[in-house]
Each structure stands twice: as C-alpha cells, then as structure tokens.
Amino acid sequence: MNSMNARRTAIAVTAAVLLPFSLAACSDAGSDTKAAPPAAGTDKSGDSTSTDDSMTGDKPFGPACAGVPKEGAGSFDGMAKDPVATAASNNPALSTLVAAVKQAGLVDTLNSAKDITVFAPTNDAFAKIPKADLDKVLADKATLTKILTYHVVGQKLAPQQLENGSFETLQKSKVTTQGSDQSYNVNDTASVVCGNVNTSNANVYIIDTVLMPK
C-alpha cells in the first residue's frame, strides 16, 4: 500500500507539474493561430490602401471622363499607347479638334513632340464659336495654326501644377491655370472637363472652351 500510495502521489505530482505547461502551450498555439491572420490582413489592407492612393493621382478625372469608351483605341488605356494626335482621333468628342489639326498640317508635329501638354477643346467647345467665324478660321491656315499651338505647352503638366500656373505655349503666348483637387480652369474661360488623360507623348486636359491667344 505504501508503495502504491507513493506511485499515485508521484503521478499526481507529475500531472500537476505538467498540466500548466500543457495548457500554456495550447494557449500560446491558439494565440499564435489567431494573431497571424489579422496581422496579414492588416498588412494587405495597408498595402492596398497605399497602392490605391498612389494610383489615384494618375487617373483621369472630371465629369466628361464618363463618356470615354471603356475599351478599344478610344479608351484611356488605348489612348495611352498612341501619340496625342492619333489618340485624339480615336475620341469621338474631339473630332472637330482633330479635323482642325489636320487642316493646319499639325498631325506629325504633335505626334512627334516629346513630353507635351495639350488643352483639347471638345466638339461642344468649337460649337460655341459662331459657324461663320469658325469656318473663316478653319480656312485661314496661319490663324488656325496660332490658335491650335496656343493649346500646347512644351512640358508635361501634372494636375498639381495647374493650381496656380503660367505656362508658355508653342504659340509663344502664355496660358494661366487655376484650381485645386479635380477642378481647374484655363485663362478663366475654359474648364477642364476630363483631365490627366495620358497619351504616349502627352498629358491631355480636355476643356469646354476654345482658347484664343491675345
């Protein structure tokens, strides 16, 4: 009996000693298992947020951007692959501008230029000009060239640079820009309706009014 009592006592002592360690190990394992996924999720969420933030500044903005085709050569991805005059020719809203550029013989000039910014008037912008006046301008290559080159700046402009800017154009006169966030105007007369559109050689800001050099 004394021997059996001693054995039982030894087993009880061993169990008492080992049980806390066993429970602690289980507790630690459970803690690690639960902690790992949230940490990974947090990291992924953080990475996703930073990626989204970095991409936001590169995206086109403005109410007219909704009318740009989602796919094909006239989409934002499609235009990014082509030089600016070619890219504009794939956008139905810029057909009058494209016709004017062809009339002035500026297609090759714009397509071969490097790192430029184009303020591109929409068809509606040209429609604001009385038809007789517009026809007269389109028939006068020298005047047309002055007007069109006044819409081109010899450097790529990011949206932030438009907040309070003054830039020399290819026509040699300056355009001024004001605004913030995603609302900008040019010369206090034209509003950017779809901005930060990338082509292979230019940043394009589509505007609602034709700019006239002074």
Segment 165-169 mean pLDDT:
98
53 pLDDT exceeds 80?
A: no
Segment 64-91 mean pLDDT:
95
Strands of 7-163, DSSP E = 116-121, 152-153
Cβ-proximal residues to 100 (8 Å cutoff; 6+ apart), any chain: 126, 138, 144, 148
Please state the pTM of the whole predicted model: 0.74
The answer to which of 47-51, 71-75, 85-89, 203-207 has the lowest mean pLDDT is: 47-51
Segment 94-103 mean pLDDT:
97
Q: Give residue 58's pLDDT.
A: 79
Q: Which of 93, 94, 76 is nearest to 85 (CA)?
A: 94
Segment 45-67 mean pLDDT:
62
pLDDT tens digits along 172-184 = 999 999 999 999 9
pLDDT confidence band for 36 (50 / 70 / 90)? very low
Domain ranges of the chain: 1-56, 68-207
Q: Give residue 214's pLDDT.
A: 83
The answer to which of 18-32, 91-105, 168-182 has the lowest mean pLDDT is: 18-32
26 pLDDT exceeds 50?
A: no
Q: Give residue 184's pLDDT.
A: 98
Segment 7-14 mean pLDDT:
44
Q: Give residue 15's pLDDT.
A: 43
Segment 46-51 mean pLDDT:
36
Pairing relationship of beta strands 152-153 and 202-207 according to DSSP bridges: unpaired
CATH 2.30.180.10 describes domain 68-207:
yes
Cα(80)–Cα(87) distance, integer angstroms: 8
Q: Which tokens hold the place of 101?
A: 């550029």
Pairing relationship of beta strands 183-186 and 174-180 according to DSSP bridges: antiparallel
pLDDT confidence band for 171 (50 / 70 / 90)? very high
Q: Give residue 57's pLDDT.
A: 57
Q: Give the chain's mean pLDDT.
A: 82
pLDDT tens digits along 145-166 = 999 999 999 999 999 999 999 9
